[in-house]
Amino acid sequence: MLRSFIAAAWIGLAALPVAVAVQAPAQAPAAHQPPPAPPGLWQQSADRITFTTAHLSFPLTAAATRFVTTFEASHPGEGLDTGIQFESADRQVFATVYVYRPGLPHSGLSAFATDWVIHIQSPNLRPLGMHVVSAGGHEGIAIRADYGGFRDGLATSAAFLEGGGWIVKLRASGPEPRRAEVDAAMSALLDGLRFEGTIQARPAAPVIVDDCEVQISGRARLLPDDMGHLMLGGMVSVLDPGGDAGGGSAGDRSEPLAARIGPHWCRSQLAPSGRFVLRAAPGRTPGASGASVMLVPINDAGTIAELTESEPHRFVLMYHEIGRTDVLGTYDAPLTDAQIADILSGTDQDGGRFRALIAHHANGNNDVQLMMPTTGPSSSGSRQ
């Protein structure tokens, strides 16, 4: 099983532009202030605006709202985290399109993390349903969620798609009495978006989450760093978590690569942060080596911790953000809730130390940097 996974991983990696380097351990990335979108990142025509990197376009008018501006939310000048804003004439109904490239692109996880944050922001929230919908003339490629009572007075809607490693998040909000306009703006954005190049949206992948009935009690042991397994962790991070059908053109002998993110999860909650630990439901993992067994969403902008079982009794912890993935420690068993909490808070400095860094670029390239081991635990700082 492992042999077939590694072979498929190497084949998949060979199809991706990847540069490998070795350097000293890096520290956590600094926060960025959102700059305006640089010239050329978005191009406007008479009735549409296009994100040029992914050839993804939207109408300039979405029901009662009209396009007003572009923005770049983080990573200035890199084109990894950008978007456009819409407003009604009286600026009471508004919509936003976010397009970003996270280390773990997955429509269902993006929907789950945003739903969690929306609930935190709005104690009196009324969920009105989350379901798979069509978008851009294609059935079943988006997840849409609708809410009432957002921030005590707003109707709001969110939708999520993934294609080519890009997450597309749509938001529309407005006063509760104008819910029809909010719904119409979201529907217009979904109906009007177009993937106009080689990148196409993947089928929506909602996750089903129940409460965990049994908690993991035995602490996992941190294993010695190993160059080969660090490289494998780096390879896993550049493969699509939704899998790959393999095959392709004549002479292409690539094997199908199973999805490593399954649909069935259970959750527990970390105190005092309130974050959820998602664990693959017993008997519901995808079934191949490399499957994800634990996820901890950190925010609704692509930051998430992931534990994958690379082979029996070897579990690799990765930390994904927009534009990068850090490979952290390798363990002999799944981490307990207490262990992952210590790693995320910076209490467990050795477990949180960067072993490898994978930079995900807007053009699809990936740079893998293997970190040289230090002579003792080194602080990686808090990841909360």
| Domain count across the chain | 2
Residue 319, pLDDT score = 96
**Mean pLDDT, rounded, for 161-178:** 97
What lies within 8 Å, CB to CB, of 207 at 6+ separation is 108, 109, 111, 112, 261, 263, 264, 265, 278
In a domain? residue 376:
no
pLDDT surpassing 60 at residue 150: yes
**What is the per-residue pLDDT across 19-62, written as a single tens digit (0 to 9) for each?**
434 333 323 333 444 567 999 999 999 999 999 999 999 999 99
Cβ atoms of 144 and 133 within 8 Å: the answer is yes
- Average pLDDT of every residue of the chain: 84
Between 212 and 97, residue with greater pLDDT: 97
Q: Which of 195, 223, 248 is the last residue of a domain?
A: 195
Residue 283, pLDDT score = 66
Residue 222, pLDDT score = 96
Q: Which of 195, 216, 248 is the last residue of a domain?
A: 195
Is the domain of 26 the same as that of 54? no
In a domain? residue 202:
no
In a domain? residue 89:
yes
**Domain membership of residue 98 as a residue range:** 42-195
Count of residues making up the chain:
384
Is the domain of 23 the same as that of 97? no
pLDDT surpassing 70 at residue 7: no
Q: For the chain, give the percent of residues with pLDDT over 90.
A: 68
Residue 183, pLDDT score = 98
pLDDT surpassing 90 at residue 375: no
**Mean pLDDT, rounded, for 125-129:** 97
What lies within 8 Å, CB to CB, of 91 at 6+ separation is none
C-alpha 368/C-alpha 326 separation (Å) is 10
What one-character-per-residue DSSP string does 293-326 give?
EEEEE--SSS-EEEEEEEETTEEEEEEEEBTEEE
Is the domain of 160 the same as that of 60? yes
Is the domain of 263 the same as that of 335? yes
Residue 235, pLDDT score = 77
Is the domain of 221 the same as that of 282? yes
> Of the segments 6-10, 16-20, 77-81, 225-229, which one has the largest average pLDDT value?
77-81
Is the domain of 315 the same as that of 175? no
Residue 328, pLDDT score = 94
**What is the per-residue pLDDT across 59-92, written as a single tens digit (0 to 9) for each?**
999 999 999 999 999 999 999 999 999 999 999 9
List of E strands, 73-120: 81-87, 94-100
CATH number, domain containing residue 166: 3.40.1000.10
Helix, strand, or coil (residue 130): strand
Which pair of tokens denotes residue 112?
């789950």
**Mean pLDDT, rounded, for 337-363:** 93
Q: Which of 195, 216, 232 is the last residue of a domain?
A: 195
Is the domain of 219 the same as that of 144? no
What lies within 8 Å, CB to CB, of 59 at 6+ separation is 47, 48, 188, 189, 192
Residue 173, pLDDT score = 98
Residue 36, pLDDT score = 72
Between 318 and 246, residue with greater pLDDT: 318
